[in-house]
């Protein structure tokens, strides 16, 4: 047993009689089951297929601290400002792993919508949330970090949308880190949409002041028949961050899932999506964009399971890696035996701008039905020479031509965002990121401990 596992074992033993002592027995039993799994399997290593290209075990420390209670309340505007023109959202800020609120950790609206803290939901509406929190997703040896989250999560965002309710205003989750300590943060978010419900959801990760924090999040989404959810995730983290996101989505009949995950800056980021289309005529679109340089690492893992007939899925992930950055994409589609008339498509396109940048891609189809339409494709290359020649022949300078082609390459993903103001802002951030101007998530100022602004740039002159 290594030092990190020993630390986690002792931390859990302390919290069983502390933070978790008052929880319902089924939840405490589920925590113990997940902890037993973590102690048996530990952190994922490069020997495991999904972690082979971007292992995390060598980066994790053993001197983390878990914050046992929320910081004293301060208005979020005092330390966080985010302005996306014309984007009106209901914001749910989390600071150092805890929901920030003056006096209402959980809100129940007149139309039946429930939003707020997972910890508060366990106390106020356990019948709605416990079925999800007591079901483990740690069923494979490489899901040690999922088990760690299920055993130690202290809070998260709970969203419950009843049947036939269409939420017009997007909901926004903002996770902020403001500490000199090396925190271990395990947030567990649960989002449930009833039949015919709809929701647009924006999730942002930001840092104000930070140590070498390990953020280990799990989000689970459940879509009832005919439910529609659009999920937008933006990541613009500091160079020392370790951010792990596991997203589990289950879809019922005729439901629709659309996700768009954009990584602008990273220390180390692991994004894993596990999507189950469980009933006929469910549909999913999954988009992703990652822009990394210096020694940044981004790892995208997408698993889509077609478990019922007449379902469809479409994936498009794109990435640009500069300097000695590392980018990895693993895309796995499974079509079960009875899932006839499945349509599943997967595309991954990458640019490696230097000889030192490492880009790996592994698209994979596993098909057990015979009446299907499935395809996958992946490329790793540089800018198209014919397109460069075309632009140069029309009087466009070499640097500008390269910028235009890279922007067009990336914009194909951000253009899929259906919220107009958010789409425009993401396009602007992509343009600034590629030209070396984007240091932070716009007004979300992110500084080092010595006051210097972090600047990450992709240099088009290196192409």
296: three-class secondary structure by DSSP: coil
H/E stretch holding 36: helix 25-41
Report the first-to-last Cα separation within the chain, whole angstroms. 46
Instruction: Kindly state the DSSP code that residue 446 receives in the 8-state scheme.
Output: -
Res 238: pLDDT: 76
| Per-residue pLDDT at 68 exceeds 60 | yes
Select the more confidently predicted residue: 450 or 135. Answer: 135
User: Among residues 412, 411, 389, 414, which one has the least CA distance to residue 402?
Assistant: 389
pLDDT tens for residues 394-423?
A: 666 666 676 667 778 888 999 999 988 889
Residue 132 — pLDDT band, cuts 50, 70, 90?
very high
Residue 73 — pLDDT band, cuts 50, 70, 90?
confident
* Rounded average pLDDT over 140-160: 96
* Rounded average pLDDT over 259-282: 95
Over the chain, what is the mean pLDDT? 87
Contact by Cβ (8 Å): 115, 106:
yes
Select the more confidently predicted residue: 303 or 86. Answer: 303
Res 449: pLDDT: 35
| Per-residue pLDDT at 454 exceeds 60 | no
Ramachandran area for residue 68 (φ above 0: left; ψ -120 to 50: alpha; else beta): alpha
For the sheet with 98-99, list strands across it. 98-99, 90-95, 171-178, 198-209, 228-236, 256-265, 283-292, 312-321, 342-352, 372-381
Res 29: pLDDT: 96
| Cβ-based neighbour number of residue 7 at 10 Å | 15
Res 457: pLDDT: 41
Phi, psi of 80 (to 5 degrees): -145, 130
Select the more confidently predicted residue: 204 or 367. Answer: 367
| Per-residue pLDDT at 43 exceeds 90 | yes
* Rounded average pLDDT over 303-313: 98
pLDDT tens for residues 163-221?
A: 999 999 999 998 888 777 888 999 999 999 999 999 999 998 876 656 688 999 999 99
Select the more confidently predicted residue: 251 or 15. Answer: 251
Instruction: Kindly state the DSSP code that residue 444 receives in the 8-state scheme.
Output: B
Place of tokens 């088009």: 460
pTM: 0.90
Residues in the chain: 463
- Domain ranges (residues) in the chain: 3-462
């Amino acid at each position: 047993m290594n030092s990190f596992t020993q630390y986690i074992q002792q931390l859990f033993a302390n919290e069983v009689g502390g933070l978790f002592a008052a929880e319902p027995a089924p939840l405490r039993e589920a925590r113990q089951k997940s902890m037993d799994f973590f102690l048996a399997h530990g952190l994922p290593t490069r020997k495991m297929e999904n972690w082979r290209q971007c292992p995390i075990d060598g980066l994790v420390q053993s001197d983390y601290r878990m914050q046992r209670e929320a910081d004293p309340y301060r208005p979020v505007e005092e330390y966080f400002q985010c302005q996306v023109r014309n984007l009106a959202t209901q914001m749910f800020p989390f600071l150092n792993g805890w929901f920030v609120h003056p006096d209402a950790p959980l809100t129940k609206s007149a139309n039946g919508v429930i939003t707020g803290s997972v910890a508060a939901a366990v106390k106020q509406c356990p019948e709605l949330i416990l079925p999800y929190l007591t079901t483990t997703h740690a069923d494979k040896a490489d899901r040690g970090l999922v088990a760690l989250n299920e055993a130690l999560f202290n809070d998260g965002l709970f969203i419950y949308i009843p049947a036939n309710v269409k939420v017009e205003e997007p909901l926004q989750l903002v996770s902020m880190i403001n500490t000199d300590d090396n925190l271990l943060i395990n947030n567990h978010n649960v989002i449930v949409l009833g039949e015919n419900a709809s929701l647009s959801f924006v999730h942002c990760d930001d840092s104000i002041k930070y140590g070498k924090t390990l953020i280990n999040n799990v989000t689970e989404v459940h879509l009832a028949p005919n439910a529609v959810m659009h999920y937008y995730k933006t990541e613009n983290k500091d160079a020392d961050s370790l951010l792990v996101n596991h997203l589990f989505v289950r879809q019922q009949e005729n439901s629709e899932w659309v996700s768009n995950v954009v990584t602008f800056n990273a220390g180390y980021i692991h994004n894993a999506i596990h999507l189950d289309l469980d009933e006929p005529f469910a549909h999913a679109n999954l988009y992703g964009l990652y822009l990394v340089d210096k020694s940044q690492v981004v790892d995208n893992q997408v698993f889509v399971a077609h478990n019922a007939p007449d379902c469809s899925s479409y994936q498009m992930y794109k990435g640009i890696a500069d300097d000695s950055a590392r980018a990895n994409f693993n895309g796995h589609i499974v079509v079960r035996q009875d899932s006839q008339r499945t349509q599943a498509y997967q595309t991954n396109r990458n640019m490696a701008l230097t000889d030192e940048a490492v880009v790996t891609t592994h698209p994979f189809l596993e098909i057990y039905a015979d009446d299907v339409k499935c395809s996958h494709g992946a490329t790793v290359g540089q800018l198209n020479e014919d397109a460069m020649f075309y632009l140069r022949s029309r009087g466009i300078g070499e640097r500008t031509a390269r910028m235009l082609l890279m922007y067009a390459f990336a914009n194909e993903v951000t253009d899929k965002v259906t919220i107009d103001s958010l789409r425009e802002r993401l396009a602007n951030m992509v343009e600034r990121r590629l030209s070396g101007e984007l240091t932070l998530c716009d007004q979300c100022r992110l500084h080092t401990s010595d006051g210097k602004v972090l600047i990450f740039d992709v240099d088009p002159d290196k192409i």
